[in-house]
Amino acid sequence: MNTKNKWIGKRTHFFTMLLLLFMVSNVIGQVKNKVPFSLRTSSLAPNPYTNKSIYNLRGDFTMIGNANLFDRRIWSSNPSSAAADNGRNGYMTFYKLPGELSSIKNSSSSNLVHPTGYELSCTKIVYVGLYWSGRGDNSNANVLGNGLDKSKVKLKLPGQSTYQNITANGIYKGAAAEDGIYTSYADITDKVLALGTNAWGSYSVADVATSEGDGDAVGYFGGWGMVIVYENPLMKWRDITVFDGYSYIESQDSKYKTGILDVSGFRAAQSGNINIKMGMMAGEGDNPIKGDSFEIKLRNTTDWELLKHSSNTSDNFFNSSVLISPNTRIPNYTNNYGTDIVMFDLGNTNNKFINNGQTSTSFRFGTSQDTYIIYNITFAVDAYVPDVEAENKVLTSNVTQNSNISPNQLLDFEIALRNKGSEAIKDGKLEINIPSTMHFVSANIDQSLDVKGTFTWSHPNSANPTITPGGKITWVFDKNLSAGSLTNILGKLNYRLRVSNDCVLLTSSVSNCMLNASLNGKVTGIGLTSGNTVNAPLVREYTQGLCSAAVFDDLKLNIVLGNDFLASCPALSPEGAKLFKVFCGSVTNAINRSDIVSYYPAGTKFYSQEPIVSGYETSLVVGDFPVNTTGQLFYAIVPGAQVGCYLKLKILLENITTQPTVNSIKVCLGESYNVNAQISTGGQQRGLILYYFDSLTSTTPLSSVPNPTQVGLYTYYVAEGVAGGSSSCFGSRVKFTIEISALPQVSTLQNKWEFCPNADATLQYSGSIGNGDTISWQYALDAQNLVWQDLLNTSFSNNVLVSLNNELRVSHANTSIDKVFIRVKIRNAANCIVYSNTMQLSIKQCNAISNPALPSTAGK
């Protein structure tokens, strides 16, 4: 609106007019940055763009929008009768889409059209911001007299038949000093992303807060706009920045007034022409009123150049244009009565505005007659992106993204290093972050390629990758990464990892989070010419088909635990925690720290509060672990674990009330034996084992099961329990004895006792007989199979007789006793038995006796 007319057009007394002019003389021609322009970020944008101030991507941005308030004569049979501006225009009327609900006061639509020449499935929207702006009165009240709320609109998404309410979380509601002009903002990224590829379609916005009819000299307006940032792997790299704020400018004395807007943070490409794309949203810039401008600073000078686009002139920049491409909207009028939504390319010939490597620029906006606000500037430049690609390829067969892997499985990888950018990289290195459930095994650098260097495995708390999972592989390049080749492989690193088979790591994590392994890393360095920092994540894979491009993302693998593995792991507590049982406890009711931490990777931190609790870090366990009889849960965070992933452990104090059974043992010297102690059923269920002691009060168990071998009576004790560190504990001790008795003495017999046929003979056992010892004689018949039997007088029909005085008598020797084996058996009072050597009876040939009346003495 012409602000000169705004003041002169009022019907007031002349002196009142002078007074008013005097009162505002100090504010004539103002630039009010009520909300300073700043980078807009989005917490709803997907990774890696969440809360990013610069959208650095292969892609672009676009804008859509429309006005909801027009001079109604523009859609009459005589559109030329419509006024060119909205000041003191009694014909300003809400526009409503065809077939609109009666409850809707105003509405319009605009189509989001997918860029031509690119595959729809390859395009991913990453940010959508909705703005609406208007004027319906001269105050900063939230609700107008017609009930419309400046902080609310209704939004209808593509393919949907109903509106949803949208509430603003910015930007500013102007008061009388800003003519009541307001601007509101809402982040609708999540709503649009949920549509997938159906997001490309018609958007309708209704009930923008504005008023109909004859306003004052400024006039009423109302409209909306959207900024959409999207990525497509086939597009060029761009740095896209979305700035918003609230800058109000007016000129009341026809003098040219200006404001400055600085833009920084982008990174222009290092070579070639820099293409610049601008997007802007503004309010209350009138179509017929000239004198407003928008300029960009020429680089390396103090000069400015006026800008314009295809729908305006350089001296009437803000002229109620909606310039989007393609401009498919309902309604679609050239004059949008105070709503400006424009996109245009800056003619950056010879990089006169922004040069290679430039990171900032400045804009100047001004007016000599009009009043308007600027609330959005979106800016895109061809970006400098060091295009280093390190493809992390899995060589293990049947292992790809989201594959299942097993404990202890070996995985082989190959990293191929390329530099597809236009600048060489110096001081380069590659780092691979190993998941906390994998162990480094080996690595080697391909010596046949240009880039070699050295590699190391490191871990902040360990030097042994065999026992410590996680850590980092670092490959330091021995030379610069030369630029310019899309396919040339500069270097290769092959490495091998082993999946952990640690039951604690794999079975006791919250929600089994440790079973989700993510592998990634980065290439870092410095641009040889620009000096800019390179920080490129690993390439997981290259997409195939129309959207073929590098995928910079984690390799995600799922560790699957088989039944055999689970059966080999100790049972968990009901809470799914690794269970540590402390039996009997100690004076301090604590378990030694070493007894716990030895089960976990080096550097693991333990907390008494669950890591989902705010401020849990203050519960760090730095010493021994407290214990009690109800059990206490602790939480362990392993180095390198994903955010929010932790292990559970429970320490439980238990007393041992069970005891084993055992029998005493009696054996003779040299006889083997086994202690037959049996653990109780309860002790077995609790995982207790047997311990032996040599006294009732001893606190140190014997190192092995008692097994004395010398004659004597030995006393021992056996108990159920656990041993080791502070958790040593034993139940009641059960006494048992081991008695080893001496053997009796036995004398040696002659090897052979010979007789003449029919002879009589006597053999007296000459050995001493101990007190309580008993002696008996035994015989055996077969030399090849000695089966011993007690010798009785009837054994050989009284031919061999045993007397009471341990004498052995042979009567009338005959062949029945020839080659019979004899031995002595002695048993003592302890029932210990010994045997003599074997003696053989033998019948020999003898000469006949001449006088048969005389008795034979052969065999004596």
- Tens of pLDDT, residue by residue over 386-399, are 789 999 999 999 99
> Count of alpha carbons within 13 Å of 421, Cβ hemisphere only?
27
Instruction: At 25, give phi and psi (nearest 5°).
Output: -60, -30
Give the number of other CB atoms < 10 A from CB of residue 451. 22
* Contact (CB, 8 A) for 370 and 291: yes
797: Cβ contacts below 8 Å, ≥ 6 apart: 816
| Whether the Cβ atoms of residue 775 and residue 719 lie closer than 8 Å to each other | no
Structure-model confidence comparison of residues 421 and 409, the more confident one: 409
- 39-73 core/surface letters (b: 16 or more CB in 10 A; e: else): ebbbebbeeebeebebbbbbbbbbbbbbbbbbbeb
CA distance 506 to 578: 11
pLDDT for the residue 9: 33
Task: Find, among 700, 696, 681, 691, the residue nearest to 721 by Cα.
Answer: 691
pLDDT at 431: 98
pLDDT-derived band at 1 (thresholds 50, 70, 90) equals very low
Closest of 223, 183, 201 to residue 125, by C-alpha: 201
Q: How confident is the model at residue 319 (pLDDT cuts 50, 70, 90)?
A: confident
Residue owning tokens 């799922």 = 558
- The phi-psi region of residue 576 (left if phi > 0; otherwise alpha if psi is between -120 and 50; otherwise beta) is left
| Confidence check: pLDDT of 852 > 70 | no
Residue 457 and residue 789: Cα distance in Å, rounded? 78
Q: Is 350 left (phi over 0), alpha (psi -120 to 50) or beta?
A: left
Q: Which DSSP string do the residues of 9-78 spell out, in sequence order?
A: TS---HHHHHHHHHHTTTTSSEEEEEEEEEE---TTSPTT-TT-SSEEEEEEEEEEEEESEEEGGGGSS-
pLDDT digits (tens, 9 = 90+) for 413-446: 999 999 987 788 999 999 999 999 999 999 999 9
Any idea what DSSP says for residue 642?
P
Residue 26 scores a pLDDT above 50: no
> Which of residues 280 and 9 earns the better pLDDT score?
280
Residue 853's pLDDT band (cuts 50, 70, 90): low
SS3 785: coil
Start-to-end C-alpha separation, the chain: 158
Rounded average pLDDT over 496-520? 97
Report d(CA 339, CA 324) in Å as an integer: 13
Residue 333, both tokens: 């009028």
- The per-residue pLDDT for 588 is 57
pLDDT of residue 15: 26
CB 261 within 8 A of CB 377: yes
Number of alpha helices (DSSP H) and beta strands (DSSP E) in the chain: 7, 55
Distance CA 181, CA 250 (A): 12
Helix (H, G, I), strand (E, B) or coil at 159: coil
Please identify which residue in the block is written with the tokens 């490597």.
357
State whether residue 80 is helix, strand or coil.
helix
Lowest mean pLDDT among 6-15, 84-93, 691-700: 6-15
151/224 Cα distance (integer angstroms)? 13
**Residue 522: in which H helix or E strand, if any?**
strand 516-527
- Pair of tokens at residue 842: 């033998």
Q: Residue 598 has which token pair?
A: 């030895």
The pLDDT of residue 180 is above 80 = yes
Averaged pLDDT for residues 130-148:
96
Which residues are CB-neighbours of 714 under 8 A, at least 6 positions away?
A: 706, 708, 737, 738, 739, 740
Alpha carbon distance 858, 842 (integer Å): 12
pLDDT given at position 234: 83
Asked if 539 and 383 count as a contact pair (C-beta separation under 8 A), the reply is no
Overall size of the chain counted in residues: 860
Q: How does the average pLDDT of the chain come out, rounded? A: 89
For residues 460 and 422, give the distance between their C-alpha atoms in angstroms, rounded to a whole number: 36
Is there a contact between 283 and 134 (Cβ–Cβ < 8 Å)? yes
- In the predicted structure, residue 2 carries a pLDDT above the cut 80: no
Interval 739-761 mean pLDDT: 94
pLDDT band for position 140 (cuts 50, 70, 90): very high
Percent of the chain with pLDDT over 90: 67
442 in the Ramachandran plot: left (φ > 0), alpha (ψ -120 to 50) or beta?
beta
d(CA 38, CA 34): 12
pLDDT at 796 > cutoff 60? yes
In the DSSP assignment, the letter for residue 2 is B
The DSSP-derived string for 343-406 is EEEE--GGGSSS-TT--EEEEEEEESSBEEEEEEEEEEEEBP---EEEEEEE-STT--TT-EE-
Element (H, E) at 681: helix 681-685
The residues facing 809 across adjacent strands are 762, 801
Taking residues 447-476, what's their average pLDDT?
A: 96
Instruction: Return the structure tokens found at 498.
Output: 């082993």
- CA distances 33 to 94, 262, 336, 791, Å, are 30, 13, 25, 129
Task: Identify the residue with better confidence: 354 or 368.
Answer: 354
Contact between 74 and 62 (Cβ < 8 Å):
no
- Contact of 242 with 128, CB cutoff 8 Å: no
49-100 pLDDT tens trace:
999 999 999 899 999 999 999 999 998 888 888 778 888 888 999 999 999 9
Block residue for tokens 């903002």: 185
Answer yes or no: are the C-beta atoms of 195 and 159 closer than 8 Å: yes
Least confident of 48-57, 143-152, 522-531, 563-572: 522-531
What's phi and psi for 218, nearest 5 deg? -70, -45
CB contact burial 477-489 (16+ within 10 A = b; e otherwise): beebbebeeeeee
Nearest CA among 574, 598, 747, 715 for reference residue 650? 574
